[in-house]
């Protein structure tokens, strides 16, 4: 067992736990986006930042990947943490404002505006779908391709993958796939999912003007098949 | 592409660490690009998913999934070359070849690409065509460079050509300079090493001009024979770098002054060489 201090409280957790697991167990809320129980931690979204250490030495680390260690001093809601989280939420809103998941997270932190150039990304590269496909579906049909600005998620050669089980798991976990709910007006940052009970991509014949992150789209494949 | 070729390459790399990149490099060296079928065959051969192999193949700039032209023309857009007008050079090449960076001309003659720093910043803007470095390139020289490439850079007269720059090298073990100012080759101090061939020791003087293959040897080494290279100062065995991409013989690594490593093929007459200036730049 490991003993550490969390928000001033001495807590004991099992060896091998991450700070996120420890915090959740003791009821300290930490927002996450790229973390999902059952998938390996990935540390892509940086939303789960917490502060570890004391005074000048204190640093921000991602709770979902940081292992709990004896004597660690952790703060999950210090002003520095909150400031960093708000900034990350602004950046997430700047890249993918249509995502219901991101909107909800931003709302919870009272982030109502962002100060950066507005983009409408189809994918925030959180890696949830890639891990879902590999670790839970054991298919490895999709993966990361390219790097830097050109990094993207999809199948090799963008061709329908024989390895894909058409399970829809990737779309289920995708925070950016919620963007389908904006119908074909991406500039509408407000999600319309309550008004659209079924995904418009299944109703419309031409999907071209709908934003969908995957080519080929699994929904389309299911419909065709 | 023949699938036996690919499976042979995969087999040769079996069990070696970092195998995938080595395999892809070899396929790329053979075909000039990575054919889609080859990626599938590699995935099958090494028992990884095509998704993984494709991810690696698209991650590295040195791999290409599209067939490349006969000549590869890389214009440096690294910071140093950029401020010296690399972008204008790239544009000029694009105009002259009528392609955008990353594309290949319709006649499959040239592939144009832009790269980020080739490690020779002080000589920028740098353009590399078929492994030959051109330094201080200005837009007016673009046409001339392309013309030279068409004629075959290896045949261009060495001494009258400004594309070549001298390198100063030292022994990778004792770091003693291998330059011999008393013995000139191509009018420059030569690189002097000891070689052992057919049981005999003698001195070999190589041209220090990068791109020149002139050699002066105390004894004759027949073409295509392999010689063993030693440092004349610490007698360290120099042969044994990577294998030559052209002929597969072991290469001879030497430290370049200012950082980096140059490797030359140990086979007489083979022009295989690798210049990696990036690793050692401080
Ligand atoms: S639908 Fe295909 S790509 Fe998506 S998780 Fe399932 S197997 Fe993987
Ligand atoms: S497609 Fe969705 S789940 Fe996959 S990496 Fe992009 S945002 Fe994440
Ligand atoms: S949840 Fe920890 S980095 Fe995304
Ligand atoms: S920036 Fe061009 S060689 Fe370094």
pLDDT single digits (tens) B265-279: 888 888 877 776 654
What CATH number does residue A6 fall under? 3.10.20.740
Alpha helices in chain B (DSSP H): 3-12, 19-31, 36-46, 50-59, 79-83, 86-97, 142-151
Residue B164, pLDDT score = 60
Q: What is the pTM of this model?
A: 0.64
CA distance linking residue A147 with residue B238, whole number of Å: 37
Q: Report ipTM (2 d.p.).
A: 0.74
Q: Is residue A224 part of a domain?
A: no
Contact between chains at B50 and A145 (C-beta distance less than 8 A): no
Would you kindly state where each structural domain of chain B is located, as residue ranges?
3-59, 71-151, 165-276
CATH number of B71-151: 3.40.30.10
Asked if residue A68 and residue A37 are part of one domain, the reply reads yes
List of E strands, A69-219? 73-75, 143-145, 152-154
How does pLDDT run along chain A (225 residues), one tens digit per residue? 999 999 999 999 999 999 999 999 999 999 999 999 999 999 999 999 999 999 899 999 999 999 999 999 999 999 999 999 999 999 999 998 878 889 999 999 999 989 999 998 888 999 999 999 999 999 999 999 999 988 999 889 988 888 888 887 888 888 887 434 344 444 443 333 333 344 444 444 544 444 444 445 555 565 565
The preferred substitution site among A36, A48, A60 for testing ligand 3, maximizing ligand atoms within 8 Å of CB, is: A48
Output the six-digit token pair for A168. Answer: 């829809």
- The tally of domains found in chain A comes to 2
Per-residue pLDDT tens over the stretch A58-106: 999 999 999 999 999 999 999 999 999 999 999 999 998 878 889 999 9
Residues from chain B contacting residue A144 (CB–CB below 8 Å): 55
Asked if residue A156 and residue A52 are part of one domain, the reply reads no
Instruction: Please report which ligand is nearest the Cα atom of B86.
Output: 4
Sites in chain B below the pLDDT cut of 70 = 1-2, 17, 153-164, 241, 258-259, 276-282
CA distance linking residue B193 with residue B177, whole number of Å: 10
**Cα–Cα–Cα angle for A141, A144, A148, nearest 5°?**
165
Q: Which atom of ligand 4 is nearest to the CA of B76?
A: 2
The residue range of the domain holding A169 is: 128-173
Counted residue by residue, chain A has a size of 225
């Amino acid at each position: 067992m490991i003993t550490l201090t969390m928000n001033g409280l001495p807590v004991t957790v099992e060896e091998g736990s991450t700070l996120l697991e420890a915090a959740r167990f003791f009821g300290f809320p930490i927002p996450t986006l790229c973390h999902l129980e059952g998938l390996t931690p990935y540390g892509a979204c940086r939303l789960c930042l917490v502060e570890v250490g004391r005074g000048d030495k204190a640093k921000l680390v991602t709770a979902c990947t940081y292992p709990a260690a004896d004597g660690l001093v952790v703060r999950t809601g210090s002003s520095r943490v909150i400031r960093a989280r708000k900034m990350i939420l602004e950046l997430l809103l700047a890249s993918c404002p249509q995502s219901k998941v991101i909107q909800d997270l931003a709302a919870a932190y009272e982030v109502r505006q962002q100060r950066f150039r507005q983009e409408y990304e189809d994918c925030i590269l959180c890696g949830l779908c890639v891990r879902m496909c590999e670790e839970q579906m054991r298919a490895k049909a999709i993966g990361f391709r390219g790097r830097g600005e050109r990094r993207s998620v999809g199948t090799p050669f963008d061709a329908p993958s024989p390895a894909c089980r058409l399970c829809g798991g990737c779309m289920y976990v995708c925070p950016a796939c919620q963007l389908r709910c904006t119908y074909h007006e991406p500039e509408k940052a407000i999600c319309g999912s309550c008004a659209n009970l079924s995904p418009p991509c299944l109703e419309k014949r031409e999907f071209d003007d709908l934003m969908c992150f995957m080519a080929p789209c699994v929904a389309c494949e299911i419909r065709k098949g | 592409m023949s699938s036996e070729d690919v499976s042979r390459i995969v087999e040769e790399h079996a069990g070696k660490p970092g195998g995938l990149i080595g395999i892809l490099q070899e396929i790329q060296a053979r075909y000039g690009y990575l054919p889609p079928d080859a990626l599938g065959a590699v995935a099958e051969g090494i028992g990884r998913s095509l998704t993984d192999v494709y991810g690696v193949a698209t991650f590295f700039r040195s791999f290409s999934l599209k067939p490349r032209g006969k000549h590869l023309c890389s214009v440096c857009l690294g910071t140093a070359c950029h401020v010296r007008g690399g972008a204008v050079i790239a544009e000029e090449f694009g105009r002259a070849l009528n392609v955008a960076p990353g594309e290949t001309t319709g006649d499959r003659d040239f592939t144009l690409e832009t790269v980020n720093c080739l490690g020779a910043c002080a000589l920028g803007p740098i353009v590399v065509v078929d492994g030959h470095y051109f330094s201080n390139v200005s837009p007016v020289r673009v046409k001339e460079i392309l013309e030279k490439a068409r004629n075959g850079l290896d045949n261009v007269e060495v001494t009258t050509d400004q594309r070549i720059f001298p390198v100063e090298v030292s022994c990778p073990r004792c770091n003693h300079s291998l330059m011999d100012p008393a013995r000139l080759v191509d009018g420059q101090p030569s690189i002097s090493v000891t070689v052992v061939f057919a049981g005999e020791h003698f001195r070999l003087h190589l041209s220090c001009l990068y791109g020149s293959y002139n050699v002066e040897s105390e004894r004759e080494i027949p073409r295509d024979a392999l010689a063993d290279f030693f440092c004349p100062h610490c007698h360290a065995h120099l042969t044994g770098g990577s294998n030559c991409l052209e002929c597969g013989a072991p290469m001879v690594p030497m430290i370049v002054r200012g950082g980096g490593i140059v490797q030359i093929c140990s086979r007489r007459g083979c022009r295989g060489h690798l210049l990696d200036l990036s690793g050692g730049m401080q």
